[in-house]
Amino acid sequence: MTFAYKIDGNEVIFTLWAPYQKSVKLKVLEKGLYEMERDEKGYFTITLNNVKVRDRYKYVLDDASEIPDPASRYQPEGVHGPSQIIQESKEFNNETFLKKEDLIIYEIHVGTFTPEGTFEGVIRKLDYLKDLGITAIEIMPIAQFPGKRDWGYDGVYLYAVQNSYGGPEGFRKLVDEAHKKGLGVILDVVYNHVGPEGNYMVKLGPYFSQKYKTPWGLTFNFDDAESDEVRKFILENVEYWIKEYNVDGFRLDAVHAIIDTSPKHILEEIADVVHKYNRIVIAESDLNDPRVVNPKEKCGYNIDAQWVDDFHHSIHAYLTGERQGYYTDFGNLDDIVKSYKDVFVYDGKYSNFRRKTHGEPVGELDGCNFVVYIQNHDQVGNRGKGERIIKLVDRESYKIAAALYLLSPYIPMIFMGEEYGEENPFYFFSDFSDSKLIQGVREGRKKENGQDTDPQDESTFNASKLSWKIDEEIFSFYKILIKMRKELSIACDRRVNVVNGENWLIIKGREYFSLYVFSKSSIEVKYSGTLLLSSNNSFPQHIEEGKYEFDKGFALYKL
Amino acid sequence: MTFAYKIDGNEVIFTLWAPYQKSVKLKVLEKGLYEMERDEKGYFTITLNNVKVRDRYKYVLDDASEIPDPASRYQPEGVHGPSQIIQESKEFNNETFLKKEDLIIYEIHVGTFTPEGTFEGVIRKLDYLKDLGITAIEIMPIAQFPGKRDWGYDGVYLYAVQNSYGGPEGFRKLVDEAHKKGLGVILDVVYNHVGPEGNYMVKLGPYFSQKYKTPWGLTFNFDDAESDEVRKFILENVEYWIKEYNVDGFRLDAVHAIIDTSPKHILEEIADVVHKYNRIVIAESDLNDPRVVNPKEKCGYNIDAQWVDDFHHSIHAYLTGERQGYYTDFGNLDDIVKSYKDVFVYDGKYSNFRRKTHGEPVGELDGCNFVVYIQNHDQVGNRGKGERIIKLVDRESYKIAAALYLLSPYIPMIFMGEEYGEENPFYFFSDFSDSKLIQGVREGRKKENGQDTDPQDESTFNASKLSWKIDEEIFSFYKILIKMRKELSIACDRRVNVVNGENWLIIKGREYFSLYVFSKSSIEVKYSGTLLLSSNNSFPQHIEEGKYEFDKGFALYKL
C-alpha cells in the first residue's frame, strides 16, 4: 500500500501524497516533529523507528496547519482529529466466499440497525440473520464521517473505519464472525464524491476533478493531470478492504457520477482488482446501461451486478399509486412485467421524468447481473417522512411485493427490518459541526425531499433505529420465501414465462409457478401444482388448469 | 430537418426549440408578428404562407427580447442580426466521393487563404490545388461567428454559413467547383462548445450541460434532461451539411471535450449518420485512445480517422530542439520512430507534461485511421509569434519533415501555404464586439500563448494572410512527394520496416526505401535502389547495399 504508512519490523514508513505542498512535517503526538522528504511527484516520505501501533499523528503543512492523514486507517477523535497507527492484519483468504448465484443480500446501516448502533450490535444479530436465510450483509459506508450520525455518504477518510461504530477492530471482528456463520460481507464504498466536512485532500493535491461536478460535491480526478496517483489511491482502497478486513465484495455508490475519459475506465480497473482477489463488486447505477455489467468483450466494465431502480419503482408506483417524482414514469402493471422480463423498463424508451430517452436493453445477461429490492436506504430515506413501504400499502400488497422480488431471477436485497415488518421511518440524518453546512443540509433536505424533521437533530437519528418489534407472520413469510428461492433454484435464470391480466400476474419457472393477484380477479390458470406458500388462506392447496376466482394475494405452487 | 424552417410549396413551417420560454412570437421583418404554438417538449411552431426565400426573421421571447434563430441557415448581418430564409438545395449525391486511402488533405482557413478571404478566393485556387495533387480540402469552421475575423471556433450558428466568406451560395458553389475538379470537401465542425458571443441558445433551453465544462466555454448537453433534442440538433447538423451542401466529410473539433455518459456516445451516432450517407468523419482527439476509431465490435465509436499530435510533436521537437510546453515530452529520434511504427508515442506511457499515464496502444488498426501533419492551425497559431515551422528549421529539415509525413502510412494533412514554403505567421485573431470579451481574449492569449500581437486588431488578421510567394523548389518537392505517395501505394500500409541510427532513419516499404539523414552520418544501407527524389544532390542516383557517408537530407529510392 502506497499511502499512509507501512509497518516494517520496528520501522514505520509514512507516505503522504501532497504535490501542492512544498514541505510537510510529520507530527507524532508526544514524540516529535519530523521533516519529510519530497519526491518530484509530490510524495512526502519519512521512516521512523520510534513510533508504534496506537501512536497518533498529523501532518503539518506549508501554512503550519495540521491535518489528519487523508489515507488515515483510524480517526479515533473524528474527521478533524489526529490519525492513529493501527495493527495491520496478518492474513486474508483469497478464495471466493460469495458466489453471485447464492446472493441474498441484507442492507444494514450500522448506526440504526441495533440500539447500540455498533459492529458489536450487528454481531449480536448474525444468528438471527442466518436463521432468516440471507447469505450476505451489505454494510452501508463506514469510512469515517463527521460526528456519529450519518448514512455514510459524507465519509472523508476512505481507509478509516468509523470510530463510533467500533473502529478497525470492531469491523474486523464483524467480518470474522460473519464468516464463521457462513455469511458474506459486502462493503458499500463511495468513489464518486467525498463529504463536505473534514476533506483536507483539497489542500494537498489534485485529488478532485476540475472538469466534472456531482450533485453531492467534489468528484475524484480520474483522468486529468496527476490522476495516476488518485487512481492508485482508490484502487488501493479496494485492495485495502480486502487485504486488511477480508470483505467479500463491494457495492459502489452512484457510479453514473464517476466520469473517466481514460482509455480504461476506473470502474473496469476496480472490477479487475476485485476479481484478482475472487471477490464480487456491485454497482449502483442510474444509467440503465448494461455496459456497467457487460463483459469486456462486449465493451463492458465487467462489474458483477448493478442495482435496478426500475424494478423497485414499477412495483412501488403500482402498489402505492404514487406518481410524484420519478414515479411519474411508472404505475402500470405492464411496467412490472417489463422489468421482470427485461430488467430495465426504460431500455431506450423516453422518460417523462428524466425528459430524455433513457437506457439500453440488457440483452442476454443473466439475472445475477442485477440487484432488485422493494426498499433500500435511498428509496425510504429520501422520502420527506422516511416512510417504509409497509406504511404505504396494505399487508397483502406488502407480501406480494416481497414475493415478487425474492422469487425473481435477480439478486434480492432486503432493507434491514423489512423482513419482520419494521414500521419505524428511516430518515436522512447527519452530525456535522459546521453551522453553515448544517443549515444548508436542513434547507436542502426540506426543499428537495420535503423532510420536516431536522437531519442534524439526534431525535431524527434515534427515530430511524429499528424497533425490533417482530411481526412473526411477516418474518416467517420472508423466511419461507428465501427458502423457496434456494430450493427452486430460481436465481439467475431469466427464462421465466410471464403472463398478466388486468390485475394479476402469473410467473412460471422451471419447477414452479407463482400467482400475484393485485385485486380480486378471475384468472385462467394454465398450469397445475401444489401450494408451497401463500400470503393468505384463500388459495387452494392444489390447482388444476382452469378458471379461478382469486382474492388479492400471492401464492407459490410447485409444478 | 426539425429545426429552423421547412419550405413546403408556398408554406414555410418554422420550428424553434425553446422549452425555457412560455411563449414565442415569430417576427418576419416587414411582414408581421406571429404567435407560435408550443408543444409539451418546448417546440414552438408556426406555418406561414406569406413568407419566402430572402425574408428575414427573428424570434421574440417572453422578455420581449428579439433573437436570431439558433438553427439559422444564414445570418446576413452577423451573430446578433436577423436570420434569413434561404433556398433549400435540390439534391445531393449519396455516393462516396472520398475514399480514406486516397486522402491527402489540405487545411484551409478561408479568411486568410487568399487576399479576398472568401469562398470565391478558394475557388480561384482549386486548379492550383489540383496541380499540387491533394485530394481533399479541409475547410476550417464556417459556422457564423462574430465579425469577420475568426479561426471559426467561436461560431455560434451551427447551420449558418459565415456571411463574410460568401454565405450559403458561396459555400455551395465552392463544393460544386471542388467536385468538378475531383477534389473532396471536408468541413471542420465544432460540437464541443460554442463561442462566447452571440449565443442566444442559453435563453431558450438546456442546450448546454450543467455537469461538464470545457476550457473554451459551455459544452452541449448530450446526456442530461432534454438531451434528446440537443442530440437531434447536432445529428441533424451533420445531415444538413451533407444534404444541403454535399460536403464529403467532417473534421470534429476536440472530441476529447465531448462528454456523454449515454449508452451510445454521440460520437458513435455522428459516425453512423456520416456513414449512412457514405461520407467520412475525422476527429481531433487528445486522448491517444484507439476507441475513437476502433470499430463497434471493438468498443469503438467507428470514426474514420483521428489526428495524431504525437507524430507532429516528435518531429517538431526533434528538428527544432524546442522543449517548451508539450514538447517537453518529446525530442528524441526514438519518438519519431515510435510514432512512425505505433502511431502514439504515449500509448500507456507516463507523460511528464500531462503528469499522468496517457494513451493506449492502437494495435492492428491500419494507417488510414490516423491523420498526420507537421503543421496545422493550432500548432502554428497557438505559438505566441504564430511562426510556421519553416521559420524554425533549416531548409533541409523542412524537406525532411515534409517527406516524413507525406510518405507515411498515415493520412497526410498539409497546412495551407506549407507546400510552397509560406513564411507569413498565422496568428490567433478575433473580431468580437463585446469589450470585456475582447480584453479577456487579449489577456488570455498573452498569458497562455505569449501572443503580443492584438488578436482583435485587423493587422493581426492581415499579417496571417498567405503571401503566395511561391518557393518553386519547395513547391515542386511537395508535388513529387505527393506523386510518389500515390505511385508507391504507401497509404494505410503500416507494414514498414523502420531502422535508425543516432541521426538517421531508414524506412522500407514494399516498393521503396527512404533515407532521412538529420546530420552528416555514416550509414550501413541494407537495400539497393534507384533514386526517385531527394532533398539535395548529395545522394547517389543508384545505391547498392553497403556503407555510405551521407550529408543531411532526404532521399527516396525505388527498390
Nearest to B526 by CA among B545, B547, B504: B545
Q: Of B225, B263, B359, which is closest to A355 when you measure between CB atoms?
A: B225
3-state secondary structure (DSSP) of residue A169: helix
Distance CA(A227)–CA(B17), nearest Å, equals 39
Mean of per-residue pLDDT scores for chain A: 97
Q: What are phi and psi of B401, to 5 degrees?
A: -60, -40
- Establish whether B505 is an annotated binding residue: no
Closest CA to B423 of B359, B486, B365, B466: B466
In CATH, what is the architecture of A497-558? Sandwich (2.60)
Is the CB of A39 inside 8 Å of chain B's CB atoms?
A: no
In the numeric block, the cell 467532417 is attached to B250
Put simply, whether A285 touches B (Cβ < 8 Å) is no
Rounded-to-integer distance, Cα A44 and Cα B205, Å: 48
Partner-chain residue, chosen from A211, A261, A264, that has the shortest CB–CB distance to B213: A211
Hey, is B310 helix, strand or coil?
helix
A268 to chain B, any CB pair closer than 8 A? The answer is: no
Query: Is A309 labeled as ligand-binding?
Result: yes
Q: Is A77 part of the annotated catalytic residue set?
A: no
Q: Which of B192, B378, B220, B413 is nearest to B305 (CA)?
A: B413
Residues of chain B with pLDDT under 70: none
Contact B226 A355 (CB under 8 A): yes
pLDDT digits (tens, 9 = 90+) for A316-325: 999 999 999 9
Taking only the tens place, the pLDDT of each residue in B308-348 is 999 999 999 999 999 999 999 999 999 999 999 999 999 99
How far is Cα A66 from Cα B2, in angstroms, rounded to an integer?
59
Cα B9 to Cα B12, B74, B86, B169, distances in angstroms? 8, 21, 14, 21
Distances (CA, A) of B126 to B113, B129, B250: 12, 5, 19
Q: What are phi and psi of B192, to 5 degrees?
A: -105, -15
Question: Among candidates B489, B331, B400, B415, which has minimal Cα distance to B134?
Answer: B415
Tens digits of residue pLDDT in A398-427: 999 999 999 999 999 999 999 999 999 999
pTM of the predicted model as reported, rounded to 2 decimal places: 0.95
CATH 3.40.710.10 for domain B102-430+460-488:
no
How far B351 CA sits from the closest chain A CA (Å)?
Answer: 9
- How far is it, in rounded angstroms, from Cα A129 to Cα A126? 5
Helix %, strand %, coil % of chain B (to 5):
30, 25, 45
The predicted structure's pLDDT at residue A67: 98
Q: Is the Cβ of B376 closer than 8 Å to some Cβ of chain A?
A: no
Map out the domains of chain A as residue ranges: 4-85, 102-430+460-488, 497-558
pLDDT > 90? residue A247:
yes
Identify which of B256, B289, B354 has the shortest CB distance to residue A225. B354
What's the pLDDT score for residue B93?
74
pLDDT (tens digit, 9 = 90+) per residue, A111-145?
Answer: 999 999 999 999 999 999 999 999 999 999 999 99
pLDDT band at residue A97 under the 50/70/90 scheme? confident
Order of all β-strands in the sheet with A542-543: A497-500, A504-508, A512-517, A553-558, A529-534, A542-543
CB contact under 8 A, A287 and B354: no
Intrachain domains A4-85 and A497-558 with the same fold = yes
Q: Find all residues with CB under 8 Å of B298, minimum gap 6, and list them.
A: none
Q: What integer pLDDT is reported at residue B38 of this predicted model?
A: 98
Contact A351, B262 (CB under 8 A): no
Q: What are the DSSP E strand ranges found in A317-435?
A: 349-351, 356-358, 370-372, 411-415
Q: Around A22, how many Cα atoms within 13 Å sit in the side-chain half-sphere?
A: 3
Q: Does A324 touch chain B (CB under 8 A)?
A: no
Residue with cell 428465501: A482
Q: Answer yes or no: is A456 a known binding residue.
A: no
The DSSP bridge partners found for residue A500 are A505
Maximum Cα interatomic distance, chain B, rounded to a whole number of Å: 84
What are the pLDDT digits (tens) for B373-430? 999 999 999 999 999 999 999 999 999 999 999 999 999 999 999 999 999 999 999 9
Band of pLDDT at residue A217, cut at 50, 70 and 90? confident
CB A411, CB A346: distance < 8 Å: no
Give the count of Cβ contacts less than 8 A between chain A and B: 62
Chain A nearest-CA distance from B377, in A, is 25
Can you tell me the mean pLDDT for A338-356? Answer: 97
Contacts of A288 in chain B (CB under 8 A): 263
Q: Which three cell numbers stand for residue A476?
A: 416467517
Of A296, A253, A252, A299, which is closest to residue A274 (Cα–Cα)?
Answer: A252
Write down the residue that cell numbers 493535491 correspond to. A205
B53 is in an annotated binding site: no
Nearest CA in chain A to B292: A263
* Domain B4-85 superfamily per CATH: Immunoglobulins (2.60.40.10)
In whole angstroms, give the CA distance from residue A295 to residue B515: 46
The shortest CB-CB distance from B263 to any of A210, A259, A289 is to A289
- Name chain A contacts of B223, Cβ cutoff 8 Å: 356
Residue pointed to by grid coordinates 520496416: B497
**C-beta separation of B490 from B509 below 8 A:** yes
CA distance A413 to A272: 24
Say whether pLDDT at A220 is over 80: yes
Residues in contact with A535: Cβ distance below 8 Å, sequence separation at least 6, in sequence order: A396, A399, A400, A403, A477, A553, A554, A555
Provide the shortest C-alpha distance from residue A290 to chain B (in Å).
Answer: 8
CA B486 to chain centre: 23
- pLDDT of the residue at A91: 74
CA distance B422 to chain A (A): 36
